[in-house]
Chain A
């Protein structure tokens, strides 16, 4: 049997690996996606004072520390049975909206943008952010850097730091927003809204205006039929900071809707010996292996999943764009993995509009941003929608608030099974009779990248191109072919 190894699948060596095994006919027998990294937070957080969890768990990911920080902070509210003042919830959501703006902007322009803006058939040397800037204009490039940076300014004004903010406390946030900060935040938010609208227009012109791209988005090779998960508000609209978790089946019908505290009834995780990452699945459907469909518990939690589980967006421009996407792609749910990019931009518009609403909210500068907890701490669950999916934190403490047990379901992990399936599907579509098409490098990468996987965090970094090294070995171990993406 021949084996094909793609290592790394991210831009980082050793943080993701694909092994493809061919059968005697030279077709794909199986493909394994491996995550070779573990740090052990669920264990070493035991014995820590629970109020330190927002500081400690934000170090799970330096790219999306805000997601862990806020999920941990919400978990503290639950552990201490304390309800933060309205202003504190708004301040947290404002920080969170700024974070989504920064993160989605980075993903579109730096990571996935080159695939679309330069085109899937463009020379590889051109498929990076610098070429994107050359094509769309230097002004746009400067604007990307400016808007990402200003969203981080908002995060730093609230959370003290640009990376690993520190404002989360049980019952609120560590300090209020001043009027001069609010004024600056409103200016930034206004500019972010315009920038988000511009980004969607760019996507319209470059991607949706081109039949080749639309065909790619709707092609079967990138469609995976799964359940979807995401957080919704009281009117079933997309919500990042808080709400109930809704799951729809592959036909788009509501399968479950539950508060975060009930997550254990809905999610279970499988362990495999070849990877450090577990495979979550819907407990009530069950694990049927790496397959899609109604009988398989595999689900996705991505920007597309969030739109699929919701009935709309809570802000006006995002709502218009939401309607347009489903009209264009033929109704809900959309199974095409590549439509995730479109969904992400609709979320970008929503997050920017929400930032603006919150920065104009008269209550946002209310100095009362903390309720000191008085109840005995015991146990709590907190969840947010991280950019890459629903993120769950669950802590148990003793009566002094010292951590006894921790469970975490990290955003990208939700998509572990679906990512593995997308990779196998792309490999099966491209490898026949032992012939490995050069196109597999790009096609596998596009399937993978749509999830914006955060195994390696720095998949967000410049210049938007993953090095792939595909080695094909004969059964005796000699190298038959080596395809490299430079």
Chain B
């Protein structure tokens, strides 16, 4: 049996998904016996030109992490789509936009103005800004074009499977890789490496049916480590988030921030969270729900922390 050809790539992300793969530890060495790694810029010496030289669909499966935030991210996504039989959006950024997609609450001009002009340490009286193409006295220099709107991988190219998490936990990475080694593939579009139930199902905290009337922010209170965060008035994304991570944040006495993305058959993670919150508040009229939203310090940054690019809203007007 020939070994499957596998590629890894990263776009706009922090590199944590690469570390998640390294977290396989000694199992990573076994992986090298089971698959033929044909492209992994973080770890092996392959170039884009090597990929360009491949026949179309030569790669069996590509794991792509990171959102699409500049022209190079887009170019590589399209290239790897052409060369791969299967393309997997790996991690929260490729899946839902992740933290970089919070940039969809602003735009390129505002980002540039803040970073290159307004920050207190920046000295830029001539208002110099980075440009995709610049003529220096010695010749031309180029850098990729920065986009105003961050996109998910599947808003850029066709995607076969999704792996959520920021980053995906090691055990789930291992499970996902096993799926491709055994070749026992689920339906196209499936989410792999996560559970089909909400995080609450694997959270050990005791949940009553207490209704709450007031929200508190994490810095304002010492949460009881045994009780449901929401029932203590702390926003926890658990009810609107897929399980599979082992509720690690909850075990550290911090609430879930939703990095494993929306539940099955839910398009909008934030919308689902709002309905979960309405229920725990015991409110259902539009007016009451509007009042509830007013209590949430930052609805967009809380309900869509890791999934703004994938939400119905995608971006806010700026």
Contacts and interface: CB of A to CB of B under 8 A. Distances in A.
Nearest to A29: B138
A457 B219 contact: no
B54 interface: no
A47 B70 CA distance: 24
B265 interface: no
Interface in B106-163: 106, 110-111, 114-116, 118-124, 128-131, 134, 136, 138-139, 141, 143-144, 146
A298 to B, nearest CB: 15
Interface string A63-100: 10100000000001000100000000000000000000
Interface stretch (A33-41, A202-210, A288-296, A432-440): A33-41
B46 A273 contact: no
Interface stretch (B36-44, B195-203, B281-289): B36-44
A274 B41 contact: no
Contacts of A394: 120
Contacts of B248: 156, 160-161, 166
B297 interface: yes
B185 to A, nearest CB: 27
Contacts of A479: none
B257 to A, nearest CB: 6
B146 A276 contact: yes
Contacts of A457: 14-15, 18-19
Contacts of B102: 44-45, 48, 56
Contact of A1 (B44, B114, B139): B139
A194 interface: no
A119 interface: no
A166 B106 contact: no
Interface string B191-213: 00000000000000000000000
Nearest to A32: B141
A151 to B, nearest CB: 13
A63 B128 contact: no
Contacts of A34: 141, 143
A272 B127 CA distance: 10
A401 B45 contact: no
A29 B137 CA distance: 10
A421 interface: no
Contact of B128 (A32, A65, A159, A271): A271
B122 A271 contact: yes
B317 to A, nearest CB: 14
Most chain A CB within a 10 A radius of its CB, from B22, B25, B100, B167: B22
A61 B16 CA distance: 7
Contacts of A267: 121
Contact of A36 (B47, B72, B128, B254): B72
B177 interface: no
Contacts of B172: none
A11 B138 contact: no
B27 to A, nearest CB: 11
B144 A36 contact: yes
A65 B47 CA distance: 28
A8 B144 CA distance: 13
B30 to A, nearest CB: 13
A401 B18 contact: no
A372 B220 contact: yes
Given A21-B138, A48-B301, A402-B298, A160 B254 contact: yes
B264 interface: no
Question: Is chain A's interface secondary structure helix, strand, loop, or mixed overall?
Answer: loop
Contacts of B297: 49, 400-402
B131 to A, nearest CB: 5
Most chain A CB within a 10 A radius of its CB, from B17, B103, B139: B139
Contacts of A171: 219
Contacts of B105: 44, 47
Nearest to B225: A175
A364 B130 CA distance: 47
B167 A163 contact: yes
B219 A76 contact: yes
A169 B102 CA distance: 22
Contacts of B146: 38, 276
Contact of A401 (B26, B121, B141, B217): B217
Nearest to A45: B102
A311 interface: no
A163 B128 CA distance: 36
A366 to B, nearest CB: 15
B121 A264 contact: yes
A65 B15 CA distance: 10
B12 interface: yes
B141 to A, nearest CB: 4
Contacts of A317: none
B98 interface: yes
A170 interface: yes
Most chain A CB within a 10 A radius of its CB, from B102, B105, B225: B102
A62 B139 contact: no
A51 B301 CA distance: 12
A271 B124 CA distance: 7
B22 A174 contact: no
B298 A49 contact: yes
Most chain B CB within a 10 A radius of its CB, from A14, A48, A167: A14
Contact of A276 (B41, B123, B130, B167): B130
Contacts of B100: 39-40, 59
A271 B10 CA distance: 26
Given A37-B70, A43-B115, A402-B297, A169 B13 contact: no
A269 B119 contact: yes
Contact of B45 (A55, A152, A485): A485
A354 interface: no
Given A145-B26, A271-B122, A3 B138 contact: yes
A131 B151 CA distance: 40
A215 to B, nearest CB: 28
B23 interface: yes
A462 interface: yes
B293 to A, nearest CB: 15
A443 interface: no
A273 B129 CA distance: 5
A33 B257 CA distance: 37
A30 B138 contact: yes
Nearest to A392: B121
Contacts of B120: 264, 394, 407
Given A273-B131, A457-B14, A458-B18, A44 B103 contact: yes
26 contacts: A32-B141, A36-B144, A38-B130, A40-B114, A43-B111, A52-B302, A59-B14, A59-B100, A60-B14, A63-B19, A145-B25, A156-B248, A165-B252, A166-B248, A171-B219, A174-B252, A270-B123, A271-B130, A273-B134, A274-B130, A274-B131, A370-B222, A372-B220, A456-B42, A461-B42, A485-B45
Interface of B: 10, 12-20, 22-23, 25-26, 28, 41-48, 69-70, 72, 76, 98-100, 102-103, 105-106, 110-111, 114-116, 118-124, 128-131, 134, 136, 138-139, 141, 143-144, 146, 166-167, 170, 217-222, 225, 248-249, 251-254, 257, 297-298, 300-302, 305
Given A49-B301, A271-B129, A276-B146, 13 more contacts: A1-B138, A1-B139, A12-B42, A17-B143, A34-B141, A37-B70, A62-B17, A145-B25, A160-B251, A264-B120, A269-B119, A394-B120, A401-B219
